[in-house]
Amino acid sequence: MKNQWPYVSSYSLLAVGTLTGTLLLLAAGTMGLVFVVDGFISQGTLKGKLPFAHFHWGALGGKVILTTILFWVVATSLLQWHQLQEKVENLAYWNQSQDTYRTTLSSSTDAILNDLEKDRELNQRMLSFYQRMEIEEDAFLMESENYNVQGWNGVEREYFYEEYMSAEEARYSPDGERVTINANYLEINPIEGSNNQEVIHQMANDENTLTLLVPESYRKIEKDIKEHYLEYFYFLKVEVDNLYNEAIGSPLNTTSKEALSIQIIYTASEQAYFTFNSATGNAENQVIDPIAVIYNDSLDPSTITAYVSSSLYFQDDSEGEAFEQIRPLLEEEEITEIPAVASVYDEANQAIVQQTQRLLQQTIALIILGIVSTVLVSFMMWAYYKARAYDLLLMYLHGFSFWDRNKQLLLGILLSHGVAGGIVFAFFSMPILFPIILFSLLLEASIVAVLSQQLMHRNIQTVLKESMYDYIGSG
């Protein structure tokens, strides 16, 4: 795949230029529109024609809502841009995966989910396929779905497991800080034990033992880890197995929990597990110091079927013929449920393209919101000047300052920015929002400053015209 940075840079310059140019043209056009509408209305008398004060307050209410939406889109756009930068800058980490592919499962397997006998038969075939892939193609497992990025707290990732448990519970729960790998993964991504030896040489080879790679810093919660992972092991090995056995009339698995054991191998701190999944892990798609479960073939075969659907990887340098490489094995194992393989490097690049497209959509939304916001500010100001035409004229003639004449209007704009900014910051906690809010506030204040002179001149003409009508009428 090509380097994505030139594409992203060109897009960014185009987006910024388009947004700036559109807003400048919009400001000029809106001012012209205000004066045209004002001219039509000024053909009549000023008093009693239209409820300008109601217009002003209605526009202010709409402005608060619109400004909130505008700042929300700005915040999400900044977040999208931050994510895009991360993906582009860290694409180098994916160079190691240019010849790596993952298996995919067709949707046809969904049809047998309610037929446990057929499902068991599929699972057995998948287990046999996995065992041969592991030996013949050096296939490796890396399941990291617990680290799927679900949202953002400012610019910090929020992982799937964080939505359901406390940070303390996540340390020892299988539903928390856990990845699942096999021995082949450790050949690609070596992990060092706390005893300075590679863990691959320390693992037990026993169907009743589940091996865990645990960060040294978790030694103090070893009891909690063993307790929860023993339950996890028993569930996947015995309880799930018996669900199928009961449904198809096979003998039950009578392995007791006491017959099972957990082997813990402590690992050195700050070790990274590359996920090979562009949707999981940190900015480099790595997981730092998780608990890594070493897959055990004695688990119920349904487990490996789940992993084959998204987390089984193999390497092939045939440049586009990866599926053909494993086709003979698929045919020998009668696997028709794997229709294709996916290049994980291409998936990482595709994620960048999708991120760019989302940013483009949000840029368009910002342009539209900018248009509507400018129109609302202009309308709010026009209604304000129409509602207080005589008062503002007297203040102007008596030398009142720009602030004194426009205080209510400016405070309304300040209020809309304060409320909207506070709401958005409460959700996103992004300090960069403050200068953006300040810039927007100064921009709208500048619009008020420019329009105020023109509208005041219009008010003078209108008041003089009305006075002339009153004089003629009295004659």
Mean pLDDT in each 10-residue stretch from start to end of the chain (475 residues)?
Answer: 44 50 49 46 44 54 82 85 77 81 80 79 94 95 95 80 92 96 95 88 90 96 97 96 93 96 95 93 93 93 92 88 93 92 88 81 82 79 75 78 82 87 86 89 85 74 60 53
pLDDT for position 56: 53
Q: What is the pTM (predicted TM-score) of this model?
A: 0.71
Residue 59's Cβ-count burial label (10 Å; 0-12, 13-18, 19+) is buried
- Distance, in Å, from the CA atom of 46 to the CA atom of 34, rounded to the nearest integer, reads 16
pLDDT for position 445: 86
pLDDT tens-digit readout, 411-430: 888 888 899 899 988 888 88
pLDDT for position 74: 87
3-state secondary structure the chain: CCCCHHHHHHHHHHHHHHHHHHHHHHHHHHHHHHHHHHHHHCCCCCCCCCCHHHHHHHHHHHHHHHHHHHHHHHHHHHHHHHHHHHHHHCHHHHHHHCCEEEECCCHHHHHHCCCHHHHHHHHHHHHHHHHHHHHHCCCEEEECHHHEEEEEECCEEEEHHHHCCCHHHHHHCCCCCEEEECHHHHHHCCCEECCCCEHHHCCCCCCCEEEEEEEHHHHHHHHHHHHHHHHHHHHHHHHHHHHHHHHHCCCCCCCCHHHCEEEEEEECCCCEEECCCCCECCCCCEEECCEEEECCCCCCCHHHHHHHCCCEEEECCCCCCHHHHHHHHHHHCCCCCCCCEEEHHHHHHHHHHHHHHHHHHHHHHHHHHHHHHHHHHHHHHHHHHHHCHHHHHHHHHCCCCHHHHHHHHHHHHHHHHHHHHHHHHHHHCCCCHHHHHHHHHHHHHHHHHHHHHHHHHHHHHHHHHHHHHHHHHHC
pLDDT for position 465: 65
pLDDT for position 50: 44
pLDDT for position 42: 47
pLDDT for position 120: 92
pLDDT for position 52: 45
pLDDT for position 51: 47
The strand pair at 149-153 and 272-274 is best described as: unpaired
